Structure 1
């Protein structure tokens, strides 16, 4: 299960060295294989599917998919040139770019769906958590900040109107909910779906409040909360635009296939994420994968990044990325 260190959190250590360390460049002459990577989370699913395609567009070389559980590994792979494309939290992508690592954002997707799960029958909507105990994970990081932002925007002070406590990982929150040691917890997909399915089998009725829905209501944003996306080496984008174009087409086709075949997708990829196939299938059926290119999503991303800056500038590396960050 993903922990604070190995999913959303990106440490600042060694970031200043990135411009000097990044010496391996992807070019058409040497790129015999395209290596993709991602964490064991749903935002990696489009790349995992793309890597398994047997019939590839002409411009794409052979591909393989790797899994990273620690962003330090992802950074090392991107720096060395071992990996050219990776799924990543969208705020982590901004941090890397702002600290000098030559990466570009290809797209954003909804692989980071967050939900409040509660066994308290009096909680039916987000504002009902006022005055209640709520268990969160990744203190001071994006999930915590999103809950605090949504609460504040609806007149709820997180520090005085809520009784917030923390655990180190979604797995701990899930276990505390299912063992009735916590009534109301924050969970990502597919852990939230797993909680509902396991709870039901044990006679526990849980209410789900999807934070992406609350975000859309509070911000009037047409794009779901853009927590995840796909990054690539800047050299790949600059020297192989035909590969980037085919990647974007391939990712779009992968998403279409996943949404049309959730059962088959779950059977093929549940192992990559350490999940049981029925859980991943139900999660995909409940939340079909959606995706927009970075340039199309730029306005919504900048709104999201600005929100994070207001709460804690370090969450995106201190400033908005410039236009070069966003690929069309």
Structure 2
């Protein structure tokens, strides 16, 4: 016989089950290697961490800063499964060398430039036989090489002084080389400190339009080892969401974002970064899935082949196809 006591006990158990707290799922821990500041790869991480956008999307991200050469070596070796300063051509090159990696999503389109304090340097061709300070290990330099050739310069005649990305601004400020090749945010930081320095036009829009028929140049984003991406499609989606939200916040709060991005900069530096974000012409912030810019990515690969940076077409798998697409 079922007694009243039985029903009372059952009710108590039910109440305990309902009132028991549900343990939240622990965030997935990810480690991402990035370039140190100033660099595009170091642009969004401080925003993600300051606003806990990783935790909002179920992640706990640790960003590890490296120089360009160390970044490439440690990412390609698999020491890091995720890279947040993934230049597209570096991804393509790794694939042609047997490293199976994939470009998950784009963060920034290409922009680069050359600056000089020397009045006799008016065009890129004037740099033939002269010294040029550059971070030669970056694919921004490789892309610059392509554009310089389109402008008629013989880049083999440049005497390149190789330095790490953070050293480029110092070279330009001290006038230690005839010219310096650099990009954002270093370019804006430099101009806030030395507004009179001259910029040499490298004809980006015109040359790219002629070569591809498009003005979009996917350049730098987030990449992963293919096996990791295949195993963790849900984490890839969460990672994209965190970066996408960070980019949207930066675009709508440029002055506040500048204080996070240039945290060690002067008020003038931060003001310049805020203006850079507002304009977005040189910054080129453009967060999109790789598969959404597949045609443009293939054009970048073609440019890399044309100057023998790539000796073969990278595998289509280097362009990440997210689930449901």
SS at match of 2:67: coil
Please report how far the alpha carbon of residue 205 of structure 1 lies from its aligned counterpart in structure 2 after TM superposition: 4.9
Please report how far the alpha carbon of residue 264 of structure 1 lies from its aligned counterpart in structure 2 after TM superposition: 1.6
Q: Do residues 137 (structure 1) and 134 (structure 2) align?
A: yes
Please report how far the alpha carbon of residue 215 of structure 1 lies from its aligned counterpart in structure 2 after TM superposition: 4.1
Q: Do residues 266 (structure 1) and 258 (structure 2) align?
A: yes
Q: Counterpart of 1:24?
A: none
Distance (whole Å) between structure 1 residues aligned to residue 198 and residue 179 of structure 2: 9
Q: Which ranges of structure 2 fall in alignment gaps of 5 or more residues?
A: 1-24
Distance (whole Å) between structure 2 residues aligned to residue 105 and residue 46 of structure 1: 17
Q: Counterpart of 1:99?
A: 97
Distance (whole Å) between structure 2 residues aligned to residue 224 and residue 273 of structure 1: 30
Q: Rg larger in 1 or in 2?
A: 2
Q: Is the 8 A contact 2:113 2:199 kept in 1?
A: no
1:1-328 to structure 2, matched below 5 A, reads: 32-40=28-36, 41-54=39-52, 60-72=58-70, 75-76=73-74, 83-110=81-108, 113-119=111-117, 128-131=123-126, 135-138=132-135, 142-154=139-151, 156-158=152-154, 164-169=158-163, 174-180=169-175, 184-200=179-195, 204-207=196-199, 209=201, 212-271=204-263, 277-287=270-280, 288=283, 289-312=285-308, 315-316=309-310, 318-328=311-321
Q: Is the 8 A contact 2:106 2:288 kept in 1?
A: yes
Please report how far the alpha carbon of residue 74 of structure 1 lies from its aligned counterpart in structure 2 after TM superposition: 5.8
Please report how far the alpha carbon of residue 131 of structure 1 lies from its aligned counterpart in structure 2 after TM superposition: 4.0
Q: Is the 8 A contact 1:43 1:112 kept in 2?
A: no
Residues 78 and 254 of structure 1: is their aligned pair in 2 closer, same or farther, counting only changes over 3 Å?
farther
**Stretch moving more, 70-79 or 184-193:** 70-79
Distance (whole Å) between structure 1 residues aligned to residue 41 and residue 278 of structure 2: 15
Residues 54 and 139 of structure 1: is their aligned pair in 2 closer, same or farther, counting only changes over 3 Å?
closer
SS at match of 2:312: coil
Residues 323 and 149 of structure 1: is their aligned pair in 2 closer, same or farther, counting only changes over 3 Å?
closer
Give me the TM-score of the superposition, normalised by structure 2: 0.71
Q: Is the 8 A contact 1:136 1:144 kept in 2?
A: no
Q: Is the 8 A contact 2:29 2:61 kept in 1?
A: yes
Distance (whole Å) between structure 2 residues aligned to residue 324 and residue 305 of structure 1: 13
Q: Deviations over 1:85-104 (max 9, x none)?
A: 53322222222233333322
Distance (whole Å) between structure 2 residues aligned to residue 257 and residue 210 of structure 1: 31
SS at match of 2:99: coil
CA RMSD of aligned residues (A): 3.8
Q: Deviations over 1:259-307 (max 9, x none)?
A: 2222222212325999954454344344342233211222222222122
Distance (whole Å) between structure 1 residues aligned to residue 78 and residue 149 of structure 2: 42
Q: Which ranges of structure 1 fall in alignment gaps of 5 or more residues?
A: 1-28
Give me the TM-score of the superposition, normalised by structure 1: 0.70
SS at match of 2:237: helix
Q: Is the 8 A contact 2:69 2:137 kept in 1?
A: no
Alignment coverage as a number of residue pairs: 288
